[in-house]
Amino acid sequence: MADASYVPPRVWTWENENGGQFGGINRPTAGARFDKPLPVGKHPFQLYSLATPNGVKVTILFEELLALGIKEAGYDAFLIDIMAGDQFGSGFVGINPNSKIPALVDRSDGVEIPVFESGAILLYLAEKFNAFIPAEPARRAQCLSWLFWQVGSGPYLGGGFGHFYAYAPEKYQYPIDRFAMEVKRQLDMLNQHLANNTYICGDDYTIADMAIWPWYGALVEGKIYDAAEFLQVDSYQHVVRWSSQIGQREAVQRGKMVNRTWGELSGQLRNRHDASDFELRTQDKLEASE
């Protein structure tokens, strides 16, 4: 159990870092910490990201748009190493004052339009290309409801359960129990919904699936937090079925490789500038050529 003797002070003060995997980069202040311009590639869209669940949402959508033959969705994806603090460079903060990945710049119309927050980027691109978002009002409302459900619920999974179960410097029962209960409630809700729906929005594969899959799909497949047994993820059979179905899509398989710096080297495409990069510039090939 947590230390019951702790009494919060009248005024909180920051003590350099509080430990844990991300303790060294977190501060209670915003803004740039150093000058560093962002690189710019050749395509209409410039993405600055990392293959965390929030980053994967966007690269999946880009690859799905390109798979539809929408050449105007060409993009460059530059790696932002959050453990090295790249997100606090002046260039990145200039397009995302919140210093979180992903961040996007749309240069397609001759002006630079920055977009940050993964849900906002999904909605922006889906509307721009009129793809993966329903047009009919009721179905559109359903899609947006699930998209924003993920945006609101994801922090309970990542910043709540994931932090206290996997990343906190010490394990305490109360926060783990609190957030495990909420995550299991979310999984149960998804499981009930997917019992009668092929995708999140019925028969239509949408940005709602792309938002939810990198978080909850990865969870039921045992790919984040090493918590599959703890949460009994196999019991959510409809979520497991849906997750497997999404994961088999070729665009999804490509999207989850982009800006990835861990796992098998053949599955890491740290920077993406061309469709051929998936064949020619994965990390195993780059290291073999050195």
Tell me how far CA of residue 258 lies from CA of 80, 157, 175, 176, in angstroms. 11, 23, 33, 31
List, for residues 207-250, the tens digit of each pLDDT value: 999 999 999 999 999 999 999 999 999 999 999 999 999 999 99
So what's the pLDDT on residue 17? 65
Strands (E), the chain: 45-49, 75-79, 103-106, 113-116
CA dihedral 68, 71, 73, 77 (to 10 degrees): 110
184 with 236: CB under 8 angstroms? no
Residue 93: pLDDT band by 50, 70, 90 thresholds?
very high
So what's the pLDDT on residue 221? 96
Taking each helix axis from N to C terminus, what angle separates 173-194 and 237-247, rounded to the nearest 10 degrees?
80
80 with 49: CB under 8 angstroms? yes
Residue 47: pLDDT band by 50, 70, 90 thresholds?
very high
Percent of the chain with pLDDT over 70: 96
Work out the burial of residue 238: count CB atoms within 10 Å of its CB; fewer than 13 is exposed, 13-18 middle, 19 or more buried.
middle
Between 72 and 1, the more confident residue is 72
